[in-house]
Chain A
């Protein structure tokens, strides 16, 4: 558009005149509307972003959030926030907020190739149900899928789990927490038999040492990092160590920085274990009383497809390693094999990667024996410009800190461990080190797995929104767990599907190979965050499938969808989150959702009205189902048993699963609301308190089973700022497994009472040698896990490492934080941090635009050699928040074969000037 030059000049003249005489332009137009804080309503809430779980206070007026503040009474943050938290109130008000359902249509009808057109909720659900039934009738429960989130509210995750598992009898539900916490979960289950950390954040104030392993806490857990630094400033003994693959902000607050090569953390932890034994620092009494030793298979692959049918040509060489791999020299040494020989290994345990067996202490000692200082230092040194001697001295210093019996020590880790082709192993290894020393389950001694998301613990893990889980740490493939769940949910026996479903990466692969043709995405942006995105974008747009995305903003995933459902965001609904220290925190609805936006919970419940029991509780085909008590490949018809229980075939899933007599007993309005509204209830048109009923129904799973939550109303009391479960007799549990703090400890001072996988066969490092199982209740496992090389490493062609991750300013894929103008201005685009000399070598300078190419795709970005992260030679880092620099097009979709979590930290790339 062109304006008349004269009009332009005139407005310029007027503005210049006004400014020069001190009339600010804004004031000319400003309406004097001084709003006084007296009319504001303050109420408690929780920060929308990371797993730290800072409490905030929210002020509202006339249906709008007018202010927020860090909650001074919240023990986590005591009134502080990071700069994202500071903008909590603004994320609701982005200019491009979605407020009505949008469907791809041509000439008034759904068309996969059509343009997004506004539709009514009825039209949206009608088409969604038609498409659902098409996929479900044709392919059965495995032909549909749900991708959820560690940012789902507790009730949302619970309702969707129940709808999928009890209603649709499908286990194809998985949260993005899979790509965040799954390795931590797998290790918790394997080591302790129960999920989530023994300790809590207060450990920081009791400890003498904090070691961050693959965790840039200074940026990713900003407020918690303040507590670490405060301890360092106030306690002279306190030492902070940063173990990382590149220099980052956490290094600046550390006494010791150890730069290692990718994946060598496994070797480094074995070095520590070996040192502990060599120095006679094993806490023998503790180990004898509370631990057993374990080993597992090593030929477990890398979680990739076993076929190259779908691979791009360039991917095929790496993909072949899923079938067979030749060990590197270092791997051979680490396995105690002759490094001079070639060892080609068939990956025969890809499907049974998690199995393990008991071994003796001597086996463990033999396993770690090759991990000498010389071997590990040579292997692990990540900065080629550092001398080997200096690096060795650092490793010895690290061993000194761990092995000192008088020194209390907390190990923190996040995505460097979890997003790792051996993520479960490396999680287990850090427990091994702590267990050998007995530095666990007491104030200041704690292996602490930090979470990334605000309710990765509270929803994804505790509710069990994974493809293999049920609430309260139960799993679908254990008959007793299904029985308990069927009884609690009042389902006919054998309603639940015993075969674990597709994890998040597999849901994407299923879309690609056509085995899933209907998915629903909530509170999540998987088409941006799942690695190897080019495959999934193509599958979504070019295959015959139907993709529903519930979102607040036009994300990549919304753009990929066939139907977009606008959602109510965080404070526009009632809900609760659980943070990394087992603290469950809740809030009331503060403001109404805009336009036709509706809560995810409302969407789940409304959609459940579109299906009847007769359509889902009939006989269903489940390819590959072989569980005892089931006909092969089939789930039985349970309708007749259901009728005996009082169900009718024409009943909707809403009536059968949600609007139960028990749930309807929770009346709305409720005094706990204190005048706050509830639009989920309002739009459902019911008189029962949906969120409270579902919370209490869910809490019944955990009460009396190590996961006790307090009553719903207790969390809403003015003086409560979240409670750390188990909450027994009104008291929270700060440290678990320790009789002083944990009422579940019945035997002795320390008891690892988690019940899963506490009966195993015995063997040696290479495999089981007996059939007979031994029980070891109350004990934790010390695993030997060898060093394993990354599946893909830089070579002559793709010659640089690429690691992705998060920044302080932006949350995940930026769908919310990029709508806050201030945050967008502060960090508008993702850049590639790389070493200055690597840039020079390629004829590049800081701020040059480059092509970045991997075997999977190619993107354009700007490089920075003086960025916040300072990679050593051969290494680079880029954040994933920026959809215009789509880094997940480059990343490999290899996963930890046990946890199925993707390794976003190790892709080989090459770069060249645009």
Chain B
């Protein structure tokens, strides 16, 4: 019998040989490059560049995972060859208290400083509100109820439906609390999950630093500018030396 570990390692060797074989991989490389940012990494994974530098593709995290959540990327998968990733619709990360994958990592690609698994940030859930049952008014909210950080990572807001005398109970993701474990994506009852987890940088927006929501941040009120905030939020309106913006336009003769 081949052990699971043996089997995984064998596959990596096979793939590695192929890479060094100097074959015609151009098509594949494009595919791979396109897919790469979609990969969800194990708890504690460092940012992409650091992770890729440190991960030696040993497969120990995948072997340590008690739920078989972690897989090692094959050539055509959404992550660089041999690196660990998971697909929550198949098996999500169940957030083990003792984080065995991190413990098994020999290089620190999975950060040894992650102590509390709920602090991990593997990705961020987002809801396709067009296809979410709850957002259509049905009583589902399964994502909310299965969420290990309910009310911190997903909460439910009520809203009037207007079409009838029924309120809607709308699940919403709170990015501050979401670990990206994907238990919600796994449990979602629609044919294709209406809640999905992706790396946060792919889906998360950002409001410009120049604007403060007055109803949320009291510190913006009449108390003078906060040095740290204004440095980041400085408006790009001051002209650079020697240039008078708009002068060329103003000096044009024609109207």
A–B touch (CB < 8 A): the answer is: yes
A454 at the interface (CB under 8 A from B): no
- Cβ-defined partner of A80 (8 Å) among B27, B138, B160: B138
Tell me, in angstroms, the Cα distance from A598 to B70 when the chains sit together. 47
Tell me, in angstroms, the Cα distance from A252 to B154 when the chains sit together. 13
B133/A79 in contact, CB under 8 A: no
Contact A86:B133 (CB < 8 A) given known A16-B76, A21-B31:
yes
Tell me, in angstroms, the Cα distance from A263 to B135 when the chains sit together. 38
- Cβ-defined partner of A20 (8 Å) among B75, B159, B186, B189: B75
B150 at the interface (CB under 8 A from A): yes
- Cβ-defined partner of B146 (8 Å) among A230, A231, A822, A826: A826
Among residues of B, the one whose C-beta sits closest to the C-beta of A82 is B139
Interface string of A761-802 (1 = CB under 8 A from B): 000000000000000000000000000000000000000000
Interface string of A211-242 (1 = CB under 8 A from B): 00000000000110111111111100000000
B187/A226 in contact, CB under 8 A: no
Tell me, in angstroms, the Cα distance from A86 to B131 when the chains sit together. 13
A87 at the interface (CB under 8 A from B): yes
Stretch of B99-107, B163-171, B246-254 contacting A (4+ beta carbons < 8 Å): B163-171
Tell me, in angstroms, the Cα distance from A797 to B28 when the chains sit together. 64
B75/A234 in contact, CB under 8 A: no
Contacts of B190 in A (CB 8 A): 822
Tell me, in angstroms, the Cα distance from A234 to B166 when the chains sit together. 10
Among residues of A, the one whose C-beta sits closest to the C-beta of B158 is A229
Contact A83:B140 (CB < 8 A) given known A866-B148, A866-B150:
yes
Among residues of B, the one whose C-beta sits closest to the C-beta of A820 is B189
Interface string of A804-838 (1 = CB under 8 A from B): 00001100000000000011011100000000000
A70 at the interface (CB under 8 A from B): yes
Chain A residues with a Cβ closer than 8 Å to the other chain, count: 46
A845/B97 in contact, CB under 8 A: yes
- Considering only residues 151-198 of chain A, those with a C-beta below 8 Å from chain B are none
B161 at the interface (CB under 8 A from A): yes
B63 at the interface (CB under 8 A from A): no
B197 at the interface (CB under 8 A from A): no
A87/B167 in contact, CB under 8 A: no
Contact A808:B139 (CB < 8 A) given known A21-B27, A83-B189, A230-B160:
yes
Contacts of A79 in B (CB 8 A): 137, 163-164
Contacts of A660 in B (CB 8 A): none
A825/B28 in contact, CB under 8 A: no
- Considering only residues 66-89 of chain A, those with a C-beta below 8 Å from chain B are 70, 77-83, 85-87
A847 at the interface (CB under 8 A from B): yes
Among residues of A, the one whose C-beta sits closest to the C-beta of B151 is A252
Interface string of B7-24 (1 = CB under 8 A from A): 000000000000000000
Contacts of B150 in A (CB 8 A): 866, 868
B158/A825 in contact, CB under 8 A: no
Tell me, in angstroms, the Cα distance from A249 to B146 when the chains sit together. 13
Tell me, in angstroms, the Cα distance from A564 to B77 when the chains sit together. 49
Interface string of B62-97 (1 = CB under 8 A from A): 000000000000111100000000000000001001
- Cβ-defined partner of A226 (8 Å) among B32, B148, B169: B169
Contact A83:B76 (CB < 8 A) given known A21-B27, A230-B165, A233-B159:
no
B57 at the interface (CB under 8 A from A): no
Among residues of A, the one whose C-beta sits closest to the C-beta of B142 is A826
A655 at the interface (CB under 8 A from B): no
Contacts of B33 in A (CB 8 A): none
Interface string of B104-128 (1 = CB under 8 A from A): 0000000000000000000000000
A396 at the interface (CB under 8 A from B): no
- Give chain B nearest CB distance to A31 CB in angstroms: 17
Interface string of B148-185 (1 = CB under 8 A from A): 11100000101111011111110000000000000000
Among residues of B, the one whose C-beta sits closest to the C-beta of A87 is B189
Among residues of B, the one whose C-beta sits closest to the C-beta of A225 is B139
Contacts of A846 in B (CB 8 A): 97
Interface SS of A by simple majority: helix
- Give chain A nearest CB distance to B206 CB in angstroms: 30
Contact A78:B166 (CB < 8 A) given known A809-B142, A822-B189:
yes
B189/A86 in contact, CB under 8 A: yes
B166/A227 in contact, CB under 8 A: yes
A17/B139 in contact, CB under 8 A: no
B169/A80 in contact, CB under 8 A: no
Tell me, in angstroms, the Cα distance from A233 to B31 when the chains sit together. 49
Contact A825:B187 (CB < 8 A) given known A226-B168, A229-B167:
yes
B139/A81 in contact, CB under 8 A: yes
Contacts of B133 in A (CB 8 A): 83, 86
- Give chain A nearest CB distance to B230 CB in angstroms: 40
B189/A226 in contact, CB under 8 A: no
B138/A230 in contact, CB under 8 A: no
B166/A20 in contact, CB under 8 A: no
Contact A205:B165 (CB < 8 A) given known A70-B138, A83-B140, A826-B188:
yes
B165/A83 in contact, CB under 8 A: no
Tell me, in angstroms, the Cα distance from A85 to B75 when the chains sit together. 42
Contact A230:B166 (CB < 8 A) given known A222-B139, A808-B139, A809-B142:
yes
- Give chain B nearest CB distance to A75 CB in angstroms: 9
A230/B161 in contact, CB under 8 A: yes
Tell me, in angstroms, the Cα distance from A228 to B32 when the chains sit together. 51
A253 at the interface (CB under 8 A from B): yes
A641 at the interface (CB under 8 A from B): no
Tell me, in angstroms, the Cα distance from A204 to B164 when the chains sit together. 13
B139/A847 in contact, CB under 8 A: no
B160/A234 in contact, CB under 8 A: yes
Tell me, in angstroms, the Cα distance from A846 to B167 when the chains sit together. 33
Contact A81:B138 (CB < 8 A) given known A20-B76, A808-B145, A868-B150:
yes
Contacts of A827 in B (CB 8 A): 142, 146, 187
A253/B146 in contact, CB under 8 A: no
Contacts of A808 in B (CB 8 A): 139-142, 145
Contacts of B138 in A (CB 8 A): 70, 80-83, 85-86
Contacts of B167 in A (CB 8 A): 226-230, 232-233
B166/A77 in contact, CB under 8 A: yes
Contact A16:B31 (CB < 8 A) given known A81-B138, A82-B139, A83-B138:
no
B137/A80 in contact, CB under 8 A: yes
- Give chain B nearest CB distance to A83 CB in angstroms: 4
Tell me, in angstroms, the Cα distance from A79 to B187 when the chains sit together. 24
Tell me, in angstroms, the Cα distance from A826 to B194 when the chains sit together. 13
Contacts of A87 in B (CB 8 A): 189
Tell me, in angstroms, the Cα distance from A659 to B28 when the chains sit together. 74
A19 at the interface (CB under 8 A from B): yes
Among residues of B, the one whose C-beta sits closest to the C-beta of A233 is B160
Contacts of B186 in A (CB 8 A): 825
Contacts of B2 in A (CB 8 A): 5
Tell me, in angstroms, the Cα distance from A79 to B188 when the chains sit together. 21
Among residues of A, the one whose C-beta sits closest to the C-beta of B156 is A252
Among residues of A, the one whose C-beta sits closest to the C-beta of B141 is A808
A16/B189 in contact, CB under 8 A: no
Tell me, in angstroms, the Cα distance from A5 to B6 when the chains sit together. 13
- Could you say which of A204, A226, A228 has the most chain B C-beta atoms within 10 Å of its C-beta? A226
Tell me, in angstroms, the Cα distance from A475 to B31 when the chains sit together. 75
Contacts of A70 in B (CB 8 A): 138
- Could you say which of A225, A234, A253, A866 has the most chain B C-beta atoms within 10 Å of its C-beta? A866
Among residues of B, the one whose C-beta sits closest to the C-beta of A228 is B167
Contacts of A17 in B (CB 8 A): 76
Tell me, in angstroms, the Cα distance from A390 to B138 when the chains sit together. 36
Pairs across A and B, CB under 8 Å, 10 listed: A20-B31, A83-B133, A83-B139, A86-B138, A227-B167, A233-B160, A809-B145, A846-B97, A866-B150, A868-B150
Given contacts A230-B160, A808-B145, 18 further A-B contacts (CB under 8 A): A20-B75, A78-B166, A80-B161, A85-B138, A86-B140, A204-B165, A223-B166, A226-B137, A226-B168, A231-B165, A249-B145, A252-B156, A808-B139, A808-B140, A826-B189, A827-B146, A845-B97, A866-B150
Where the two chains meet, the residues of A that have a C-beta atom closer than 8 Å to any C-beta of B are 5, 16-17, 19-21, 70, 77-83, 85-87, 204-205, 222-223, 225-234, 249, 252-253, 808-809, 822-823, 825-827, 845-847, 866, 868
Closest 5 pairs (CB-CB, A-B): A20-B76, A78-B164, A222-B139, A229-B167, A82-B139
